[in-house]
Amino acid sequence: MKLGIFAKTFPGSTPETVLAATRSAGFRAVQYNMACSGFAAMPDAIERDTALRVARAAREAGLEIVAVSGTYNMIHPDRSVREAGLRRLEVLASRASEMGTRLVTLCTGTRDPEDQWREHPGNHRPDAWRDLLEAMEAAIAIAERHDVDLGIEPELANVVDGAATARRLIDELGSARLRIVLDPANLFERADLAEQHRLVSEATDLLADRLAMGHAKDRIPDGGFTRAGRGVLDYPHYLACLKAAGFHGPIVAHGLGAEDAGEVAAFLRAAFDRAGIPVEP
C-alpha cells in the first residue's frame, strides 16, 4: 500500500511548494486539490499547462497523485447549484489524467443549502435519492467522456450515509466508473468497540469489489473528529479488514494540520507494520 495525505494539509498555492512539503513529511501519495495551485477547489477553467505543472511537481517530489478532489453538493436543494457543480466537475475530469490521476472524488451531498457536510432530515426522502441518481448519471457520463473513475464516500451526514446505501447506489447505477473511498471514522459518530468493528467489517465486505482508496482520520469519544492515532478508531481492525478484502490501494490521511503530518505518517507506518502490510518507503 501507499501512504498518502490530502495535499491541502500543507500551506501554499503552488504545487511545487505543497508537494515538496508532502514528501518531506514522509508521504508517497496525495489527494490533490486545485486550491494547492491557487485556484478554487472546483475551478470554472483549468489550462492544460496548469494540469501538467501538477504532474511535473509530483514527479519531482517522488509522489503519486492518487486522486483529485471534485466535491460539490450533488443534492443541493437549488438545481442551479447542482448544475454548476456538474459543469465544474467536467472541467476537473477533463484535466485529471494530465495531472496524473484517474480518480475524482465526489460528495454525494445533503439537502442543507449551506454546508455539504452537514446532515439534513431531507437526505432520507425519496426525492433526495432521485436527485442523486440524476446527478450521478450525469457525472458518470462525464467520467466516460474523460476516462476517469468517480470516488464516493459513505458519510453519515450525506445521502449516501453508510455501506448499505453505497452498495444500493452502485447496484442501481450499474457503472464500473463508480468507486468507493472508505473512511471508517465516517461510519459512526459514537459506537462501542463491538459496534465499530461490525460497521467497518460490514463496509469492507459489502464494498470490497469497489474500494479505490482508504482515508485515515479518527473519532474522539464525544463523536468529534481528530487526527489518526488520537481517537477511538481501532486501526489494526480497519487495516486487517482492508487486507482481508484484498485492497492494495492508497491510505490517505486528512483532518490534521501540517504540524502533525510527520507524527501521523509515523503512526500509520507503525500500524501497517503491526498489521503485516507492506508500505512503500
pLDDT in tens, 114-169: 999 999 999 999 999 999 999 999 999 999 999 999 999 999 999 999 999 999 99
Mean pLDDT of 15-21: 98
Mean pLDDT of 229-254: 96
- pLDDT for residue 280: 83
pLDDT one-digit tens code per residue, 177-213: 999 999 999 999 999 999 999 999 999 999 999 999 9
| CA 97/CA 75 separation, integer angstroms | 27
Q: Check whether 281 has a pLDDT greater than 80.
A: no
Q: Check whether 90 has a pLDDT greater than 90.
A: yes
Note the pTM of the prediction, 2 decimals. Answer: 0.97
Of the two residues 1 and 12, the one the predictor is more confident about is: 12
Dihedral sign of CA atoms 262, 38, 52, 216 in order: positive
| CA 47/CA 33 separation, integer angstroms | 15
Q: Return the residue matching grid coordinates 431531507.
A: 122
Q: How far is the CA of 79 from the CAs of 83, 135, 141, 152, in angstroms?
A: 6, 10, 18, 20
Q: Which residues does residue 213 pair with via DSSP β-bridges, in sequence order?
A: 181
Indicate the pairing of strand 225-226 with strand 218-219.
antiparallel
132, 75 Cβ separation under 8 angstroms: yes
Q: Which residues does residue 29 pair with via DSSP β-bridges, in sequence order?
A: 4, 64
Burial 44-83 (b: 16+ CB within 10 A, else e): eebeeebbebbbbbbeebebbbbbbbbbbbbbbbeeebbe
